[in-house]
Structure 1
Amino acid sequence: MLKVAIIGLGDVSFIHRKAIEESAVAELVAVCDINPTKHELYRDIPFYTQIDDLLRKQSLDVVHICLPHDLHVPVAKQVINKGIAVFLEKPVALNYKEACHLYEETARLNARVGVCFQNRYNETVKVLKEKLASNDYGKLVAIKGLVAWGRPLSYYTSKPWRGMMARAGGGTIINQAIHTYDLMQYIAGDIVDVKASLSNITDYPIEVEDTAVAQINFSDGVHGFAMSTNAYAANSSVECQVILERGKFTIKDYQLYETTDQGKVCIAEDKVSTKSKSYYGPSHQEAIEAFIKRY
């Protein structure tokens, strides 16, 4: 059994805990958070408030990092320098330059670092990728990603780092809509250039953007359009649509639709997750399990 620890016991950490505990090849042996009251949530597991103590006292194979964005790279470097693999919550880093530094360190140490983009494992995405690979529909022409979510002011005041550029690295792009942007690139390939507009239309006293609109040009001439916002009144269903020479597919409401001459037909549906917030998607377990099994 692989010995696994979690560093950072915020909102998303319990999904990691559940996935590890349900794994047939991994065991959660320790957790770490600077807030000692979090120990109440993990009474049956060794608890640490200092990362140095955790890494010194525990023999670990994998560490899951679920910390604020600015701590991702420094803590990941600290862990891989101990010869321990890292499974990192998104985003990988605050910015591109910082991500490159982590990549270089990972390559130097021949270490293993995985990033949690769990929606790649959704059934709708798997089936869409199969349809595109079949070549039955011709070349990919265009791709669209839409994310209309809502975040109240309390979302930022309860955890101020979320609204700070130096700690979050951005707003809707790097925090909420990052999974949709990841799927767009996963489907359409390399990005050639981007023209975008960022704004804060909620007028919250935050440094990060709450709304973004972008035109994205991918390799092979694929045209992309993306829009994301935290200014809506609720968390509306994410939409991802692809247009091919001879077909159109749309992921919405956790279903994949093919548009035909007879109208829209549902051809795949994501599993329903009762273990987490619906907008997290149902595939954390599969993503984490896939990383563990590659150890």
Structure 2
Amino acid sequence: MADSTTPHQVAIVGCGIIGHTHADTVAARADAVVTALVDGDEAAASALAARLTEAGQPEPTVYADLGAALAGSDVSLVAICTPSGTHAALAEQALAQKVHVVIEKPLDVDLPRARRLGAAATRAANHGVISSVISQHRFDPGSARVAEAIRAGRFGQLTSAVATVAWWRSDEYYASAGWRGTWAQDGGGALMNQGVHTVDLLLWFMGRPVSIQAQALRAAHHAIEVEDTVVATLTFENGAVATLHATTAAFPGGRTRVSVHGTAGGAELEDDVLRRFTADGKEADLPVETEPPGGHVAQYADIFDAIGNGEQPGITVHDAIDALATVRAVYVASTLQRPVKFADVLEGRYDDVDVSRGIGLPPG
């Protein structure tokens, strides 16, 4: 572990596109340095090592697996950027060595594995070891302003919300990596991969769901295993309702929107920017600076602050378990063609449901 004056030594596990994002974010900080890269693909690891050294960083050591990196270096934080289905196992491995962990979204694709990781994260927290899952849009200024207004009751009684992710992904995108569009490693399609951040925001604003019903299908991409389009309705503990929509079959690609409505106001976020805000019964002026900060910067700041202060980060593994359980509940509801209780999914009562059977094809 690093002390207050020694930069944190960070291992990036998975040197693909998102691994570059994490590495760039860490490298831009004065209190951290990437000292280890973990990837079985030597070319990918070498490319990221070159990227870091060209940016003036010390050359990191490359390892073929996380165990070797933990044994061969003095890393204090591991960033897991591998395919989604490997996340929980790698995180548990790091936590067992009392090393802080950051996990790229989603937490994992398997809810039982996520529960085990949740228990491991709780044990690790008792020893001062933190774990967090990337949900960087909670740190966008607009999202934070909406959440603060909700907590302060400025929207009155929350009545409803609408969340939509209307994107386009080509067949070439899914063919570009063997894990894309598979249940084993991607864990789902438009909702699990592209929409999980929006699910997280919806839960942050509205609270835990009570029941969920849904329909998921492959509308345009028939070579994949998972859905490219899903629509769900959710009811929440506060009595409000919401619709949730995610698709990668919206050519040429649309926008991500989240709107929240209440008896005294509401707000709308579009592509992470606050576009409308009404509170306390009157429309409010939007701040001049409405563009969110880049990438993962704000969340990493929160993570390193938590480590330095001996506190838990703003987003925990348990927050991410709720988001994963919501996605799983959507798939279960589509498979069973009936509403399901969120608590039943969270607690494992539907763990044996094969959700791959619930992804239909369009009529015709």
Q: What's the TM-score once normalised by structure 2's chain length? A: 0.74
Separation in 2, partners of 1:18, 1:135: 38
* Structure 1 residue identity aligned to 2:296: H
Partner of 2:274: 255
Per-residue CA distance 1:158-186 (angstroms, 9 max, x = gap): 11211111111111111101000100000
Secondary structure at 1:181 match in 2: helix
Partner of 1:34: 40
1:54 aligns with 2:69: yes
Separation in 2, partners of 1:73, 1:264: 42
Indicate the RMSD between aligned Cα atoms, in angstroms. 2.0
1:137 aligns with 2:155: yes
Aligned partners of 2:216 and 2:229 also within 8 Å: yes
- CA gap of 1:264–1:204, structure 2 versus 1, over 3 A, is farther
* Structure 2 residue identity aligned to 1:160: G
Partner of 2:81: 66
- CA gap of 1:268–1:148, structure 2 versus 1, over 3 A, is farther
- CA gap of 1:204–1:236, structure 2 versus 1, over 3 A, is same
Aligned partners of 2:166 and 2:246 also within 8 Å: yes
Aligned partners of 1:199 and 1:209 also within 8 Å: yes
Partner of 2:257: 239
Aligned partners of 1:256 and 1:269 also within 8 Å: no
Secondary structure at 1:173 match in 2: helix
* Structure 2 residue identity aligned to 1:60: V
Partner of 2:304: 292
Separation in 2, partners of 1:184, 1:293: 25
Secondary structure at 1:76 match in 2: helix
Aligned partners of 2:161 and 2:241 also within 8 Å: yes
Alignment of 1:122-161 (within 5 A): 122-161=140-179
Separation in 2, partners of 1:113, 1:233: 37
* Structure 1 residue identity aligned to 2:97: K
Separation in 2, partners of 1:251, 1:119: 11
Separation in 1, partners of 2:290, 2:63: 37
Separation in 1, partners of 2:292, 2:163: 22
Partner of 1:80: 95
Separation in 2, partners of 1:21, 1:55: 20
Per-residue CA distance 1:227-254 (angstroms, 9 max, x = gap): 1100011332210001110223111142
Alignment of 1:204-215 (within 5 A): 204-215=222-233
- CA gap of 1:134–1:268, structure 2 versus 1, over 3 A, is farther
Using the TM superposition, give the Cα deviation of residue 269 of structure 1 relative to its aligned residue in structure 2, in angstroms.
5.0
Per-residue CA distance 1:5-36 (angstroms, 9 max, x = gap): 10001111122112111223212111111111
Alignment of 1:72-221 (within 5 A): 72-110=87-125, 111-221=129-239
1:10 aligns with 2:16: yes
Partner of 1:271: 291
Aligned partners of 1:255 and 1:268 also within 8 Å: no
Separation in 1, partners of 2:74, 2:212: 44
Aligned partners of 1:148 and 1:232 also within 8 Å: yes
Separation in 2, partners of 1:205, 1:163: 9
Aligned partners of 1:29 and 1:45 also within 8 Å: yes
Separation in 1, partners of 2:262, 2:292: 29
Aligned partners of 2:20 and 2:48 also within 8 Å: no
Separation in 2, partners of 1:122, 1:272: 5
* Structure 2 residue identity aligned to 1:4: V
Query: Gaps spanning 5+ residues in structure 1: where?
Result: 274-281
**Number of matched pairs:** 287
Using the TM superposition, give the Cα deviation of residue 267 of structure 1 relative to its aligned residue in structure 2, in angstroms.
4.6
Secondary structure at 1:206 match in 2: coil
Per-residue CA distance 1:90-141 (angstroms, 9 max, x = gap): 1111132221011112223444210000000001101112222332331111
* Structure 1 residue identity aligned to 2:199: Y
- CA gap of 1:283–1:124, structure 2 versus 1, over 3 A, is farther
- What percentage of residue pairs aligned between the two structures are identical? 26
Query: Gaps spanning 5+ residues in structure 2: where?
Result: 1-6, 51-58, 308-364
- CA gap of 1:268–1:190, structure 2 versus 1, over 3 A, is farther
Secondary structure at 2:230 match in 1: strand
Using the TM superposition, give the Cα deviation of residue 89 of structure 1 relative to its aligned residue in structure 2, in angstroms.
0.3
Secondary structure at 2:85 match in 1: helix
Using the TM superposition, give the Cα deviation of residue 268 of structure 1 relative to its aligned residue in structure 2, in angstroms.
6.5
Structure with bigger strand share is: 1
Secondary structure at 1:78 match in 2: helix
Separation in 2, partners of 1:186, 1:123: 14
Aligned partners of 1:140 and 1:244 also within 8 Å: yes
Separation in 2, partners of 1:41, 1:226: 36
Using the TM superposition, give the Cα deviation of residue 221 of structure 1 relative to its aligned residue in structure 2, in angstroms.
0.1
Separation in 1, partners of 2:299, 2:33: 16
